Structure 1
Amino acid sequence: MTFATLRALHAVIGTAIDDIERVYRERSQDYPVDYPSLDEPYYGTAQHTPQEELVESLKDDPAVVTASMRIVAACAQLSATVNKPWLGLMEDMLWPHLSAAIGFLETANIVEILREAGPGGLHVQEIHRSVLELRANLKTAAAADAVPLTAAHLGHILRLLVAGHYLREVKPDMFANNRMSSYLDTGKTLAQLREAPDKKYDNTDGVAAYVAVITNFDLHSGSPAEPAEAPSVAPFNLAFNTGLGYFSWLELPENAGRLARFARGMVGSRQFEAKDQILQGFSWADLPQDSVLVDVGGGIGSQSILVAQAHPHIHVVVEDREHVVASAASAWGPQHAHLFDPASGRMSWRARDFFEPWPALVLPALGRVDAPAVFLLRMILHNWNDEHCRRRVPFVVLILRHLRAAAGAHTTLLLGDILLQSSCNLDNAKDAEAKKAGDGVSTTLPLVVPDDSESEFPPLKLGVESITAHFADILMTGLFNGKERTVDEMAALTLSAGWKIVEVRRSPGSIVCYTTAVPV
């Protein structure tokens, strides 16, 4: 039946393209547009025509997102079926080289160099010259790099990126940005990068910073120490020869640049979600006037700031470590100054250790707040596993129990986390309801998904379109000895700390779910 499966997958792709084309046709009556080309860069910080803005906005349309995910999954399954096994095996094993090349592309400022060069591109010799010039301005750059980068080396790296669809080679040895590489653009000019290379990620969307966080771990030889927070030794501790937990390690004086980059990178992590998903992940409008949202471990407030912008009746307080809080407001630049005005109380920060009991808030606009309306934990719980290790209570449970002790009768816990799906075909009778929901999670909890996610595609296996969640799972293991969880694992975890999950919301195109829990 393999030919039938191949043709069925081909039909899935064709139908999905029809769905996308229909949306573009129906939504572009005033400005007829085509689907964006992979060859054409799109710089988020540039000025765009109404047609260009429409093209970009339509990619976030739920129907387009859902159809796009089907195409990605079906193409990957077709490729895995028909590719020569040896070639498929080699591609999968050697994939880290592409990851390293993407990290180099970002760190070497090549996207910004090519942006200024324009659509005609730039010769590899000129790219090489600009890369070395900008490198020389870095305070952290060694007087002489251990392995000198030649133009020949650079050309080979750039061609790997072309093969991975991250650049174009417009002529022999002439390279230009495409849509994929332009996504990493910070908008900074080369003059700005020369003058203040340490400000590269300031006031950006955080995508480039997140790439740097994930791909650019230059090894650091630290002194082994007793872990301050890590529940157990992770591969990170072995690689960096340190007994410190990842966040304590970031706060070392020599890692100040890494810490700032990490904070901005968390803004980029919004891209794990559908656009503004947090605004649909909870019924914010139903909260009473002057309700308080506490973003626990929220960094610079990369997600909760969206709530502050959209809902003026909510006061947002972001809690994190003192080193993060000290520079949080300034990291945003002047664009959100009206939210940070102490008189309004719209958004503020306070330093707190979430392994300690939650202390009452005192806000200038409200006075003492003994219990907030909402505790938000976004991308926090996956940093910790469920093992007891040195403490009688697992670290992750301790975090949740402190919040439960501080909760009022109407306090809600909102968790923004990846929930892992099943990777099997959902054709078992007992999974019929899960199949209808379009997701592999347990049906013991209410899962809210849009109606347009309910179509069934029998030959389509959950794979590449959800593999990012599984990559993130392994990444958490490597950095923290943590993990992503299934919905059942999350339900058991929260219940052990006195919280009962009552709803899970997921948007098309997102691997993050917003899970609502109430005190029990």
Structure 2
Amino acid sequence: MTFSTLRALHAVIGAAIDDIELVYRERSDAQGSTLEYPSLDEPYYHHAAQHTPEEELAEELKADPAVAAATKRIVAACSQLSTTVNKPWFGLMEDMLWAQFSSAIRFLEAANIVEILREAGPNGLHVQEILRLVLELRTNSKTATPTDTVPLTPAHLSHILRLLATGHYLREVKPDVFTNNRPSSYIDSGKTVSQLREAPEKKYNDTNGIAAYVGVAGDESLKFMTTLVEWALPEKRRGTDTNFDYRAPPPAGGHDRSASTDSDSEGAVVTPRYVAPFHVAFNTQLNLFAWYELPENEGRLARFGHAMVGTRQCESKDEILRGFSWEDLPRGSVLVDVGGGIGAQAVVVANAHPHIRVVVEDRAQVVAGAREAWGPQYAHLFESGRMSWRVYDFFEAWPPLLLPGLGTVDAPDVFLLRGVLHDWTDENCKRQLLIGDMLLQHACADAAAYDTADGSAATFPFVTRDSPLLPNLGVANILGYITDLMMMDMFDAKERTVAEMTALTQSTGWKIIEVRRTPGAIWGYTTAVPV
């Protein structure tokens, strides 16, 4: 039946393209102009350029529910089709060696090449000039090594950028001449080369967080993801420090455990058990958040805060505003964003709903730099007191709030936990109030896979029974499953299936009553009430 499956996948792609074209054609008729789907070759700078109304609308329509759902089906079908027909050796080696591509994207961001090429314009720059500007920017960094010790040459640079262009990041317009395209422009911080030269440490301030997330994913995340085998199979470890035994999660506050070793009956030292691959990669007894607060990780901590702003891209634009009935809350209601970092989601709610007072809670070092990280964009929220921060360890008893104009708040109207539960094991999560998180679906058809979703969080149908696609849309949703493994690598934690989330909430006396999510998406906003 393989040929029938291949043709069915081909039909899925064609039908989805028809669905997308229909949306663009309808809006074209309404606007009186012809709208084309955005081109792969054309950059789209969200921060640094003015766009025509047609360009803005064409970009905006990519988030239309019908377009987004069709896009998911195309990505899922194309991946399943190519995996079916590709020579196994090629597919296997591409997947195994893809870290080379990830490292090249990290280099693209870290070297500020996207910003350099944006200023160069559509004709691009030769690698010699790109390298000159990269090295010039480095000389202004306090931590940069002398330029004459940098091994990078124009030849090296051309090969790195050519790999990216081959994978559809960047375009090689002439031999050794490169320019941005749509995927590379997505990484743009919006900063000018002059701004990067004068204050490189402020690259991520007042941005959408995407460049910062690339920095985190390519640096600490890529490093600890490579130690999965050494964590899971200790006998594979080579060259790691074995002077402590690490058999349990660090305390909630992330403080050091006493160093110790374990011995067998004859006194031989036993290989330590690390909680997660992160601890193997960085040979630390601290959890991730305490490790970020070490003096040598100051830059990483700031970047992580901005990267969490970038996680908005997991959802459709401002989806948090549709994830809960904020408008139904009475004036003077209080939202507490637990572990909210610099307030990536809270600021959206505060800006859209003036009747809600928002308080973001996090660790001291995060709170200390939170307001400055936003620049002047939301100064009116902070100065008016509509949005504020306080230091709080959410494993401790929740202390009442004292808010100007409202007095003492013994309990807020809403606790928001966005992207928090996936950082912790079930035992730690049971000590918290749940409001929202990611929900995964099985890669196989189960009893509820194709039922109609009724808002009870019991089912999440992505495809129909007769579809050749995986029930969870396969590669179209694989980011959620990659993130799942990343949570295991960092914290020995996880993203959760619907059944796991339901069991977790029920075990703590809460019942899920509603899940709001974009069709075909894994991310959703889950509302729970006391049983």
Q: Given the two structures, how large is their TM-score scaled by the length of structure 1? A: 0.89
Asked if the contact 1:321/1:351 (under 8 Å) is kept, the reply is: yes
What CA deviation, in whole Å up to 9, does each residue of 1:290-340 have, x standing for no partner?
Answer: 111110000111011111111111111110011111121111111111111
Q: In the alignment, what sits opposite 1:182?
A: 185
- In 2: Cα distance, 1:482 partner to 1:2 partner: 38
Match for 2:435 among 414, 417, 420? 414
Using the TM superposition, give the Cα deviation of residue 233 of structure 1 relative to its aligned residue in structure 2, in angstroms: 2.1
1: CA distance between counterparts of 2:369 and 2:496? Answer: 32
Shift of residue 235, structure 1, vs aligned partner: 1.2
Q: Does the Cα contact within 8 Å between 2:209 and 2:310 map onto a contact in 1?
A: yes
What is the aligned partner in structure 1 of residue 42 from structure 2?
A: 40
Shift of 1:456: 5.7
Q: What value does the CA root-mean-square deviation take over the aligned residues?
A: 2.4
| Alpha-carbon spacing, 1:125–1:20, altered in 2? closer, same or farther (3 Å) | same
Paired with 1:494 and 1:500, the residues of 2 have a C-alpha distance of: 6
Paired position in structure 2 for 1:391:
none
Aligned residue pairs, count: 487
Distance 1:224 1:180, change over 3 A: farther
2-structure distance, mates of 1:300, 1:23: 37
Contact 2:451 2:459 (C-alpha < 8 Å) held by counterparts: no
Larger mean CA deviation between 78-87 and 27-36 belongs to 27-36
Q: Structure 1, residues 243-295: CA drift from partner, whole Å, max 9, x if none?
A: 11110011111111111101011000101112111111111111122111110
Secondary structure, in 3 states, of the residue corresponding to 2:146?
coil
Alignment of 1:351-362 (within 5 A): 351-362=391-402
Work out the CA distance in 1 between the residues paired with 2:150 and 2:494.
36
- Paired with 1:234 and 1:37, the residues of 2 have a C-alpha distance of 41
Change (3 A) 1:454 1:373: farther
Matches within 5 A, 1:21-100: 21-29=21-29, 30=31, 31-45=33-47, 46-100=49-103
C-alpha distance 16-146 of structure 1, shift in aligned 2 (>3 A): same
Q: Which residue does the alignment assign to 1:389?
A: none
Contact 1:447 1:506 in 2 (8 A): no
Q: Separation in 1 of the partners of 2:128 and 2:102?
A: 23
Identity %: 64
Tell me, yes or no, if structure 1 residue 167 matches structure 2 residue 170.
yes
Q: Structure 2 CA distance, aligned partners of 1:149 and 1:382? A: 39
How much does 1:76 deviate? 0.5
1:436 CA drift (Å): 4.2
The amino acid across from 2:9 in the alignment is L
Residue 307 (str. 1) matches residue 349 (str. 2): yes
SS in 1 for 2:204: coil
Q: Distance in 2 between matches of 1:460 and 1:225?
A: 45
In 2, Cα distance between equivalents of 1:81 and 1:437:
30
What residue in structure 1 maps to residue 291 of structure 2? 249
Native 8 Å contact 1:293 1:372 kept in 2 = yes
Shift of residue 187 of structure 1? 0.9
**Contact 1:436/1:455 (CA < 8 Å) preserved in 2?**
no
How far apart are 1:47 and its partner, in Å? Answer: 1.0
Q: State the SS of the aligned residue for 1:293.
A: strand
Of 499, 502, 511, which residue of structure 1 is paired with 2:513? 502
Does the Cα contact within 8 Å between 2:127 and 2:176 map onto a contact in 1? yes
CA distance, structure 2, for counterparts of residue 196 and residue 270 of structure 1: 26
Q: Which residue of 2 aligns with 1:408?
A: none
| Distance of aligned partners of 1:252 and 1:3 in 2 relative to their CA distance in 1, 3 Å threshold | same
- Within 5 Å, which residues of 2 pair with 1:381-392? 381-386=421-426
- Aligned to 1:348, which of 388, 409, 414? 388
Distance 1:331 1:317 in 2: 16
Residues 160, 116 of structure 1: alpha-carbon distance in 2 compared, 3 angstrom cutoff: same
Cα separation, partners in 2 of 1:509 and 1:104, compared to 1, 3 Å: farther
Closer/same/farther in 2, CA of residues 224 and 165 from structure 1, 3 Å limit: farther
Indicate whether 1:322 and 2:364 are aligned: yes
In the alignment, structure 1 residue 203 sits paired with structure 2 residue 206: yes
For residues 79 and 513 of structure 1, the distance between their equivalents in structure 2, rounded to whole angstroms, comes to 29
